[in-house]
Amino acid sequence: MALNTMLELVKRLNLIQRARECAPLARLTTEGRRSNIKIAALYLYRPTGEYRIMYRTGSHHAKAAACYILTVGRGGSPRCIGVPSDTLAIRKGKMTENGVAPINVRPINVSPPVVFGGCLHWEPGWLGYDANDIVVFDTVAETFRSMCCPPSATSCCTHLCEMEGLIGFSCLDDGRTVARIWVLEDYEREAWSFMYHVKFPAESVCRNIYTQHLVLSHKGDVLVHSTYTYFMFCCDSTGKFLEKFSWEPKLRPRLNTG
């Protein structure tokens, strides 16, 4: 299952690359030379069978960062669908009046969205909006809304994934030694069901701010990796080692402890 997941990630990257070739970045915005462009998603628009790109412009936490839609393989200019903060119910992640994010808002999230029911779903932190909520985009109505996370979830390294046709949510504890996994059993009521408490093997834990994780299967298999220690491992839902990997970088980055 881990191999299948990695192959799927490679397919996504290849598809995004092909989309970039069909829709050169120079066409993404009429303000391309002075805008900070971030591609948020490549998705299938089911009513027509076309692929579309969603991207945003502006600084990482700018209140006025607008989102645009561009159809792959079709001529014409991108369409502005507005500023997410105009429709999202921004709560604790609310921007200040001058458009600067307060210090408690997490960095921009650039993970690919999870597709469910014709909507795109990003974990908390996307664009700095709704820092404590999942961001949802309806691909047909082209509107944004918020969805609640599991009530007892932490804000550490949150991730969304697909689990047997349902939306999965995972996070790490503050010490980055445990992953907790939920499944969204009732989409309309936003009712989450707790599934796994995965305690990582003590000898393998990467305790630093660069530690990340991915849920690899509905059985609770988890991939843990660190871009600072250059070490990753897979474990099952009981914390048992499945595989581990390490490598030597050409240039090791400095860990910022300040």
Residue 137 lies in a domain: no
Give the number of domains in the chain. Answer: 1
Residue 185 lies in a domain: yes
Residue 217 lies in a domain: yes
Residue 133 lies in a domain: no
Domain that holds residue 194: 149-250
Structure tokens at 102: 């307060």
Residue 218 lies in a domain: yes
pTM here is 0.75
Residue 106 lies in a domain: no
Residue 57 lies in a domain: no
Kindly give the confidence (pLDDT) of every residue in the chain, 258 residues in length, as a single tens digit, with 9 standing for 90 and above: 444 544 454 445 455 455 445 545 445 545 444 457 888 899 999 999 999 999 987 655 555 678 899 999 887 789 999 877 666 654 444 444 444 433 333 444 567 899 999 999 998 877 665 467 899 999 999 999 999 999 989 888 899 999 999 999 999 998 888 999 999 999 999 999 999 999 998 766 566 677 889 999 999 999 998 877 778 899 999 999 899 888 776 655 555 544
Residue 35 lies in a domain: no
